[in-house]
Amino acid sequence: MKEMNKKGVSEMIGYVLLIVGAIVMAGIVYGWMRSYVPRETVECPDGVSVFIKESSCTLENSKYILNLNITNNGRFNVDGYFIKATNNESQTIATMDISNNLLSGANADAGIVLFASILEPGKDARTTIYQLDKKIFSIEVLPLMYEVIDGKNTLVTCGNAKVKEKISCPEIY
Amino acid sequence: MKKKGVSPIIATVLLIGMVIALALIIFVWMKALTKETITKFEDENIELACDKVKFQADYNLNQLSVLNSGSVPIYDIKVKVSSVEGSVLRSIRDTSQDWPRFGLNSGGTFLGTITGLSGDEVKLIPVLLGNSETGKKTVTCDERVAYTL
């Protein structure tokens, strides 16, 4: 029988090369795909809901005084809200931020109105009072909450729980 | 016969080294071919952030009002007006001085005069600001997340 003397790579080296190649390719794909892995979503839970129990607009010393009573009728705590107003009847989306016009009942900071204490489900917030220079026709309240995500306190806006209320302010004669 | 050759251990080390070097060369080459990854919110691809954008808009008497009702800040909005003649795309940031400098944060609003928003279809396409290896970059989201007036 003829002795065959074929040269080739040893099996062990072959295995090593294959494994190393697979690991390197996996690393390349991981690096590329990593950014497509969705992170924990910052979303408002479905059961968040508030409603404006009572609102009134009066005129005092040529300034409009807006009183608001907000109730949490949802299933989750609410920390505060954004409040916007319309200053003409034809406007459908309220864009005028009146958080800076807050007089009492809550704390306002950087466009956000925070309740004096976290508003639990079924509870009424303290009456908040705003002093306005212009007549307003409606307000929109967008509740917000703080959630701990990845160890950080993150502001979550609950756009789906927005409430709108028409406001009747007296005329200045 | 006394044949000289490389010891098997050295050969293995050399082979592994060559494979790693080759893999690195291919990786660098592929990276140059693929587009730069732009991320938002701690290394999440910005295209995923586009899916989370939520905003409302209204256009009446040449006044465009926008409310960011989601948690993703909107850096700019591109307005696409489509008609029989074709479509025109323009940026609100470039068109209106009332657009906030840093965009619309969560709960933020915009009210400004924008003319010429009449056509068969008017879409508002959000533009987000993300991070890349070369700094901050803007990315226009896909039209499927656009708000149609």
CB contact under 8 A, B109 and A13: no
Which residue on chain A is closest to B38 by alpha carbon?
A35
The beta-carbon neighbor of B44 closest among A24, A35, A156 is A35
Comparison of pLDDT for B119 and A138, the residue scoring more:
A138
Strands, E assignment, chain A: 50-60, 63-72, 78-86, 96-97, 102-104, 106-109, 112-119, 128-132, 138-149, 152-157, 163-166
- C-alpha to C-alpha distances, B82 to A86, B55, B61, B85, B121, nearest whole angstrom: 30, 21, 19, 8, 5
Report yes or no: B126 and B85 within 8 Å, Cβ to Cβ. no
Better-predicted residue by pLDDT, A98 or B27:
A98
A43 CB neighbours in chain B (<8 A) are 52, 71
Cβ pair A28, B25 in contact under 8 A:
no
Task: Tell whether B96 lies on the interface with A, counting CB pairs under 8 A.
Answer: no
Looking at residues A48-71, what average pLDDT do you find?
93
How confident is the model at residue A68, as a pLDDT? 95
* pLDDT higher at A63 or A6: A63
Q: Is residue B19 less than 8 Å (CB to CB) from chain A? A: yes
pLDDT averaged over every residue in chain A: 86
A35 has a pLDDT exceeding 90: no
A101 pLDDT more than 60: yes
Lowest mean pLDDT segment, chosen from A20-29, A49-58, A71-80, B49-58: A20-29
Q: Give the ipTM of the model, two decimals please.
A: 0.73
Read off φ and ψ for residue A60, nearest 5 degrees. Answer: -135, 120
Flag if B42 and A150 touch (Cβ within 8 Å). yes
Residue A9, both tokens: 């790579």
pLDDT confidence of residue A54: 93
Q: Are the beta carbons of B87 and B80 closer than 8 angstroms? A: yes
For residue B112, give the chain A residue with the closest CA: A95
A26 pLDDT band, cuts 50/70/90, is confident
Q: How confident is the model at residue A29 (pLDDT cuts 50, 70, 90)?
A: confident
**Distance from C-alpha of A33 to C-alpha of B43, rounded to nearest angstrom:** 11
User: pLDDT band at residue A4, thresholds of 50, 70 and 90?
Assistant: low
pTM of the model: 0.75
pLDDT level of residue A2 (50, 70, 90 thresholds): low
Contacts of A58 (CB under 8 A, 6+ apart): A64, A65, A67, A170
Q: How confident is the model at residue A74 (pLDDT cuts 50, 70, 90)?
A: very high
pLDDT band at A5 (very low <50, low <70, confident <90, very high): low
A68: exposed, middle or buried (C-beta count within 10 Å: 0-12, 13-18, 19+)? buried
Q: Rounded to an integer, what distance in angstroms lies between the CA atom of residue B142 and that of residue B136?
A: 19
CA-based nearest residue in chain B for residue A95: B109
Q: Is B95 on the interface with A (CB under 8 A)?
A: no
pLDDT at position B20: 77
Task: pLDDT band for A39, please (50, 70, 90 cuts).
Answer: low
B23/A35 Cβ within 8 A: no
B10 contacts chain A (CB < 8 A)? no
Q: Is B71 on the interface with A (CB under 8 A)?
A: yes
Q: Which amino acid is at B92?
A: I
Q: Which has the minimum average pLDDT: A77-86, A151-160, B30-39, B129-138?
A: B30-39
Confidence of residue A25 (pLDDT cuts 50, 70, 90): confident
Question: Which residues does chain B have with pLDDT short of 70?
Answer: 1-2, 31-37, 40-43
* CB-based contact A57:A64 (threshold 8 Å): yes
